Structure 1
Amino acid sequence: MNYSSSPEIPLLVIGYGDTSKADQGAGYKVAEVLKKKNYKYIQALSVYKLSSRLASLVIKARMVIFISSYQVSHDMDSEIMIKHFLPHYEKTEMGISYPNPPHSLLSFVKGVYGKKPDAYWILIPAVHNQPHQYLSCLTRKRIKDTLEYLIGESDCDGLDRNPYQKYREVKNKADFNIRGEDAPTTSKGLVEGSVWVSLGWQ
């Protein structure tokens, strides 16, 4: 697609990270799920790292949400973190260190094109960071939380997981249905408009 001639993008979601290192690819995987949903007002892009080549998309976006990961230890039950970038995209300390943050790309877009889209950065906690590892239970849960926050649903079937964990999930779901309980309802997300307002998107 020739993005340079495409119309304005209401919401651009850029998920990035190294999928060969398990949890470090969490942002990439969120974007992959969003692409499959094919929402009219959301354009999702999954990349391994940010680069200036993404500027042609960013300049057309009213809002940009970057999604990546941050490393935690095995004994931490960490939450997702959400950072709202200031108008001048100053780099603000978040108590973490992550390579390839969005600041440089946003500053490039501002300096070269004079564009300052409203920008957010969602960071998903990552435990496993070695090749050939499965997604950790924590990161899988936080991926679902991120999708719930963005679109009001947490369907992420197809993500890599430990086969034994899948068996446990199926068994627990069967137990849940046997008890005759209704599935929990979810709040509406960005697609329905509720989170647009909370994020300052009008």
Structure 2
Amino acid sequence: MVTHLPSPILVIGYGNTLRSDDGVGPAVAQAISQWQNSQLQTLICHQLTPELADSIAGAGLVIFVDALDCNALKMSAPKTQLRSLDLGIRPPTPASATVAAENPEIPSLLGHFYQPESLLHMTKWLYGHVPPAWLIAVPAVSFELGCEFSEIAIQGMQRALVVIQTLIDEVQGMTTKFPSLHLPSESLKLPVRI
């Protein structure tokens, strides 16, 4: 008898570990890598790159974790945020990149050149499909050179771990009942702001 193993859940933590709070994504992914869960894979990287498309295509669910620059967004009460990455939006084009470059008053939400949506669009183009994907944005206020996190980032990382565990528990509960089920991200009933 062949047992169907669901596709792995992939957590990608990214950011610069040498710039204080910018390293929250890798720190969260590192913490998750210690969890005893055979269906969970973690990747830690400085930036999102096209080479990640292969790992994404093989996953059943992808969770991106990155810093949310609260200073740039002028957030008075920063909170860890969970956002579904819906590919119903238009793929990024060189023209939209030019608009962003010419309008610096439009803050980059996460500060990285390659965004999760761009990587998901490329994965769909290369492999013909993408798994449901979520972005966990952890509040960050300090981007100075260093390896220590601000209190806001520490609280945000703790909350991110709870949110990710809840998301994983819900997904694994659904796939246990329906092993071959492909889960659309709309089927997960989790709050957008934590």
| Fold shared by both chains (TM-score > 0.5) | yes
C-alpha separation in 2, matches of 1:10 and 1:102: 18
Q: Which residue is 1:59 aligned to?
A: 57
Aligned residue number for residue 19 of structure 1: 17
Which residue in the other structure is 1:82 paired with?
A: 82
Aligned in 2, Cα 1:118/1:23: closer, same or farther, shift over 3 Å? same
Q: Is the 8 A contact 2:87 2:117 kept in 1?
A: no
Are residues 62 and 194 of structure 1, via their aligned partners in 2, closer, same or farther at CA, if it must alter by over 3 Å? closer
Residue aligning to 2:138: 124
Specify the alignment match of 2:151 in structure 1: 137
* 5+ residue gaps, structure 1: 1-6, 152-188
Residue 109 of structure 2 corresponds to residue 97 of structure 1: yes
- Equivalent position of 2:128 in the other structure: 114
Letter in 1 for 2:127: Y
Larger radius of gyration: 1
Unaligned runs of 5+ in 2: 93-105, 175-182, 189-194
Asked whether the 8 Å contact 1:83–1:121 carries over to 2, the reply is yes
What is the deviation of 1:76? 3.0
RMSD (Å), alpha carbons? 2.8
Q: Distance in 1 between matches of 2:91 and 2:121?
A: 10
- With normalisation by structure 1, the TM-score equals 0.68
AA at the equivalent of 1:85: L
SS at match of 1:124: strand
Alpha-carbon distance in structure 2 between the residues aligned to 1:141 and 1:15:
17
Q: Higher relative CO (CA 8 A, sep ≥ 6), structure 1 or 2?
A: 2
Matched, 1:34 2:32: yes
Aligned residue pairs, count: 157
Cα distance between partner residues in 2 of 1:37 and 1:72: 29
**Closer, same or farther: CA 97–190 of 1 in aligned 2, 3 Å:** closer
**Does the 8 Å contact 2:17/2:26 carry over to 1?**
yes
Shift of 1:48: 0.8
Match 1:148 to one of 159, 162, 166: 162
Taking a change above 3 Å as real, the CA distance of residues 131 and 142 of structure 1, as seen in their structure-2 partners, is: same
Query: Shift of residue 75 of structure 1?
Result: 7.9
Q: Distance in 1 between matches of 2:116 and 2:22?
A: 16
Tell me if the contact between 1:50 and 1:102 (Cα under 8 Å) persists in the aligned partners. yes
Per the TM alignment, residue 191 of structure 1 is displaced from its structure 2 partner at its CA by 5.0
Deviation at 1:88, TM superposition (A): 3.4
Displacement of 1:118 in angstroms is 0.5
Residue deviations 1:123-151, cap 9 Å, x none? 11111101025200010001000101122
> Could you tell me whether the CA contact under 8 Å between 1:124 and 1:143 is conserved in 2?
yes
